[in-house]
Amino acid sequence: MLKLELQQAGPIALNVRLHCAQGELLALVGPSGSGKTSVLRAIAGLLDVAQGRVELGDQVWLDTARGVKVPAERRPVGMVFQHYALFPHLSALDNVRLALPRGADGRNGKDAAHRLLQDMQLDGLAARRPHQLSGGQRQRVALARALARSPGVLLLDEAFAAVDQPTRQALYDELIKLRERVGVPIVMVTHDLREARLLADRMCIIEGGQTLQDGPPEQLMSRPRNARVAALVGLRDIHAGVFHKAGPGHARLRWGDDQAGLDLHTADKGRLDDGTPVRWVIAGEHVQVHLRPPEGPNAVACTLERSRSLGEITTIECRLQVAPHALMHLELTTRYARQLALVPGSPLFLQLAPQGIHIMPVKKP
């Protein structure tokens, strides 16, 4: 297992504590300048930190308290960069051979490099230089080079951002197969939440060099720790309400004003007092869209403001009657959106699953 703790005030502020198990893929997600790449560089030994510890299993790579710092060239780390970082004057084969451990030269080294290229479906392209390869092929060479060191950790820094969508999907498939084969901790930096949800076992949200929350993607999307995390994982609709107890394990969430508002059924986890003002969110998978009032709890009337088709997905924006200033943004399959015959101004009903409502404390000034 990879474990790290990093702390420093500057020049790059860091307050990070992470772990990544063997065979696990951890995605670091956050805005530009949040410190994600700095974390990768610290793992690889390319960034000095004021205080910290980095260890892989029983190997301690960094322990500032004990004066331990293993140099980058002695850390078994494979790193893949967004823009490949291949040597332009070398062939694909020689780019990979250059990363092989010492002693893997001559015919043995050439054969090992060929096998790595074959694993990446680059058979027949070994003699080509980077400018003679497509973006996806260059990224495969970069992956083969990262694996040439038989790494104990694989680091991916926006590794798929520079290629087109079809190529990216193919590289996702390669990464999924690669995970099963190498079984090492993989730490991936990405701005793409869809990519993180698709590939990662766990996500860690980082902002300002600080870890805000980590856990399985579904957990972060459904139960963000606070409103800031909710915004960083793409939950656009952060609503206000008042929490009221309604019997053992049950609660009412007052949405809208006291006179014209609506009471939503939700769970009481015993952490809030009756009458507490709260913020709350609900992930799209916990919301159903209907043309007529549905049976069951938490049916909310609304009006369609606008819709936009994006291939297989259609995004819709609804204005709630119970809280006219509140909007809810949802994604539907385009096929279902067509069945609903949606046009701006159409009346709709949303049904919110009680277990999907996630209540967050309001930060006191």
Kindly state the tokens that stand for 120: 């990446």
**Count of domains in the chain?**
2
The pLDDT mean for the chain works out to 88
Final residue in a domain of this structure, among 211, 232, 253: 232
Q: Which residues of the chain have pLDDT under 70?
A: 102-109, 257-260, 364-365
| pLDDT for residue 317 | 95
Both 249 and 208 in one domain: the answer is no
Both 144 and 292 in one domain: the answer is no
| Beta carbons of 41 and 83 less than 8 angstroms apart | no
Name the nearest CA neighbour of 332 among 307, 352, 300, 305.
307
CA distance 314 to 331: 6
Final residue in a domain of this structure, among 183, 209, 232: 232
Q: What is the CATH number of the domain that holds 281?
A: 2.40.50.100
Both 10 and 57 in one domain: the answer is yes
Both 114 and 61 in one domain: the answer is yes
| pLDDT for residue 101 | 75
pLDDT digits (tens, 9 = 90+) for 150-207: 889 999 998 888 778 888 888 888 888 888 888 899 999 998 888 999 899 999 999 9
Cα 158–chain centre separation: 11
| pLDDT for residue 265 | 93
| pLDDT for residue 105 | 59
Distances (CA, A) of 101 to 26, 45, 105, 176: 26, 18, 9, 25
Both 223 and 269 in one domain: the answer is no
Tell me the Ramachandran region of residue 136: left when phi exceeds 0, alpha when psi lies from -120 to 50, beta otherwise.
Answer: alpha
Q: Which domain holds residue 19?
A: 2-232
Both 191 and 243 in one domain: the answer is no
pLDDT digits (tens, 9 = 90+) for 215-234: 999 999 889 988 899 989 98
Final residue in a domain of this structure, among 189, 204, 232: 232
